[in-house]
Amino acid sequence: MKAIQLGDLALFQSSDHKTYLQPLVAGESLQTHRGIVAYDDLVGIPWGSKIRSHMGTTFTVNKPTIRDVLLQIRRSSQIIYPKDLGYILLRLNAGPGKTIAEAGTGSGALTMALAWAVGSAGKVISYDRREDMQTLARRNLEKIGMADRVEFRQKDLGEGLGKDPLDAFFLDVPNAHHYITKIRPMLPSGIPFGAILPTTNQVSALIQVLQAENFTNIDVCEIMLRFYKTNPARIRPMDRMVAHTGYLLFAAPMPLENSEADNLDLT
């Protein structure tokens, strides 16, 4: 891995485990009550190095992973957590060159994960009716250089989707069951479909509509993740954990007669 350079995005962690995600801008510095670290002083040192602030506080400086970025992004709404995002990417079969649509941009956590997965040859289409949400998501993506992989469409999902040949589709909107009949004709048969829902009654409502609209292979799950304290003499669970964040539902649309989506040339 290359040494630290100005313009990089860096993750600082203090000795008491406080983290700061910052772009390294010439002439600027990390300023905390634990002291100041000048970015110019970091140029050329290896990632993972320990440094000291002007007050003597020790920081490590690492190249952030996509998980680090997702946990630190600016948000104005609840984001989908990394513990769920990894499984979502697998179930959507997200990978380089794919075209994946989502509805419910929010602060852009899933948008960012999808953009990372599809790579520079792929495309993410993100629908949201709120301009402010998409503006925030775009800024978050620009921060890591992935905004060019996403096409933002400010549109109410009740108006349906475009006619894009999709490889997968994900819903993160309130009352997702209200929109299935509108978007169903534009979903190619067999593609992975997913949704995240906060309550069991919304899961039930969505399952009923999916069954009526000829979806198959319906799965529902939730993912728990518990961390452990890393003291070798006293390994034990952390006192707190992120438990329930949402119910994940996955399915696949079966062919519909005279479906526009199923008549698209997907080669």
Residues 154 and 141 in one domain: yes
**Total structural domains in the chain?**
2
Q: In the structure, what pLDDT confidence band is assigned to residue 190 with cuts at 50, 70 and 90?
A: very high
β-strand 9-14 against 228-229: which pairing, if any? unpaired
- Does position 58 have pLDDT exceeding 50, yes or no? yes
Alpha carbon distances (Å) from 47 to 2, 22, 59, 107, 145 = 8, 14, 12, 29, 20
Residues 171 and 253 in one domain: yes
Residues 59 and 95 in one domain: no
Domain that holds residue 16: 9-64
Residues 127 and 194 in one domain: yes
Least confident of 148-152, 233-237, 249-253: 233-237
Percent of the chain with pLDDT over 70: 94
Residue 1 has what pLDDT?
63
Q: In the structure, what pLDDT confidence band is assigned to residue 77 with cuts at 50, 70 and 90?
A: low
- The C-alpha atoms of residue 256 and residue 187 are separated, in whole angstroms, by 10
pTM for this prediction: 0.80
Residues with Cβ within 8 Å of residue 235, at least 6 apart in sequence: 228, 229
Q: What is the CATH number of the domain that holds 213?
A: 3.40.50.150
Residues 47 and 100 in one domain: no
Query: For residue 3, is it within any domain?
Result: no
